[in-house]
Structure 1
């Protein structure tokens, strides 16, 4: 299991922390931390790198992001403690807890705990306008489709979704930036994205060339919702210059996760930094408009870290069942 360390880690001294955190009991706190994200060009990377730097700055620690394979690998990295924090999606989280994570089949990754809600991940399809593809039904048999990094949410669920819709394809994997380049070069016919919007790769593509962002029909959306752990979602028209109206989609919630063995006071402080300043989070990525305390109940798969559970109970009026808090029972 390998992943690339991002060189620039934010670092300050504890003297720069806020007065509240300066008085916090820091027993057992690490001097540095990493956040498992995904490939460059995707929303996980931008979002995760941003909040890692924000937390490092506010708490006076050294912290940064790791490029990874996405939600499945992040569950493994956080479970083993190779990364203190990570980003995941409810579907991969549930599979990891059940022991069906393809990275380590049979291993129940229950030492990765919920920390805070991030945003919904819409599933969307992007093609070059020159292909003439305007609907899912237009995708030709044998189309070369890029599904993102192996083991990512897109790679885990989108091939199955398209198969359920009768699409026949050749499966390709890679980082989002790389797949975007392949699409422009004619080496791919379609990219099937699962990422928070706006997706940096799509934004870059529509600056450089003409693209079509394909929405699902109502029937296609209903079929997918019947078979997969997703809900209805409309990609807002102002997300991309290409869109002239909201694009019908489906989405899955994402959560930040923490190694369950991290000190309660540390995870409480990290959660407080993120959840108490949504304006700064939105400045990192607009998907963070959904990074709000009231979405604590979107955790449907993970045990809560006790530090995070305490924050949401004290500050968001959350009623979290003690049976779902790691180590509470």
Structure 2
């Protein structure tokens, strides 16, 4: 009886504390949504895991029922946010650049003028994997091979196909969920998988556990051929310790990722989401290691997509300077 009474008293105390905390929060929530959805990507990719961490932080910190929606990745997330199908999306800078300029393949001609960044996430390097027994160790050896590049609307699916053409490679490109494609690679149904994702990529780590694997990317010469066509990309080095099969760093290209919404998100909600992400960054890191780069010092990595005014308010409170290219119109 005593234990039951103590447990009940504890539950009541916790409930009262929660009620008092909400009462003390004078933020006007009248225009906030009753539920919240984060658009991520296919299983096996970093977005699916990182996005779950974002949803968990938002749901816990803001007391909003929050869920994730699996998508084809950055390009589809841009379309879904622009059409008010999800509340927050994740994208790389390449698709964001194309969306702003009316060049997104999923919605050509539409200029996504309403998208607004909330925070910079992490950098996404382009990377590829093949089974050691295949003898494939470079992108140039994809000529005449069947290569999975993840979902068609994903960053890997979008850019690898273009780059194979630019490099003069005849590649049979297959699209599909990344986790499925690494399983197909292990079974010998694909010659290689080439994608773009935050480090470490869970699908590649799982592949290493199934069979001896080679992980590689673009050569220095190939990077030189492609770099002028992707001004929103940067050269990058995948550290050797990222994967067990890597004996030395891998040179490649990479793009930064951002979490974004549209201009109609209430200013107070955008502020609170941004604040919650940075105040709970350790929780994000526990979800996926790539969140180690979700830092205030990296806000300036986005100099392309205008930040939401609510996010700008939080960054100014933290003394963070917003790049001119990412400052929303009407704010100085």
- Note if 1:65 corresponds to 2:68: yes
TM-superposition CA deviations, 1:57-76 (whole Å, max 9, x none): 11111001100011111111
Partner of 2:123: 120
Structure 2 CA distance, aligned partners of 1:271 and 1:108?
25
- After TM superposition, the structure 1 stretch with the greater mean CA deviation from structure 2, 299-308 or 120-129, is 299-308
The Cα shift of 1:221 comes to 2.3
Following TM superposition, by how much is the alpha carbon of 1:215 offset from its aligned partner in structure 2, in angstroms?
Answer: 3.3
Gaps of 5+ in 2: 1-14
In 1, the alpha carbon distance for the partners of 2:81 and 2:24 equals: 24
Q: Which moved more, 1:294-303 or 1:66-75?
A: 294-303
| SS in structure 1 at match of 2:137 | coil
Larger Rg: 1 or 2? Answer: 2
Could you give the per-residue CA deviations for residues 41-60 of structure 1, whole angstroms, max 9, x where no partner exists? 10011001111011101111
**Counterpart pick for 2:37 among 34, 37, 43:** 34
Task: Report the CA distance between 1:220 and its aligned residue.
Answer: 2.1
- Aligned partner of 2:193 in structure 1 is 191
* Aligned-residue RMSD, C-alpha: 2.3
Farther off after superposition, 101-110 or 15-24: 15-24
Look up the match of 1:103. Answer: 106
Cα separation, partners in 2 of 1:161 and 1:177, compared to 1, 3 Å: same
Give the TM-score of the pair, scaled to structure 1. Answer: 0.90
- Would the aligned equivalents of 1:100 and 1:106 in 2 still touch at CA under 8 Å? yes
* Counterpart for residue 153 of structure 2: 151
Gaps of 5+ in 1: 1-11
SS at match of 1:177: helix
Q: Could you tell me how far 1:18 is from its partner in structure 2?
A: 6.2
Identify the range of structure 1 (248-257 vs 104-113) with the bigger mean alpha-carbon deviation: 104-113
Q: Is the 8 A contact 2:129 2:214 kept in 1?
A: yes
Deviation readout 1:277-311 (Å, 9 max, x if unpaired): 32222111111111111111111321221111111
Equivalent residues in 2 for 1:254-293 (5 A)? 254-293=257-296
Alpha-carbon distance in 1 for matches of 2:32, 2:110: 27
Deviation at 1:324?
A: 3.1
**1:299-314 matched pairs, under 5 angstroms:** 299-314=302-317
Distance 2:66 2:29 in 1: 16
1:200 maps onto 2:202 in alignment: yes
Verify the 8 A CA contact 1:116 1:296 in the aligned structure 2. yes
For the Cα contact (< 8 Å) 1:271–1:311, is it kept in 2?
A: yes
Q: How does 1:55-94 map to 2 (within 5 A)?
A: 55-94=58-97
Structure 1 pair 157–70 and aligned structure 2 pair: CA distance change class (3 A): same
Larger displacement relative to structure 2 (101-110 or 260-269): 101-110
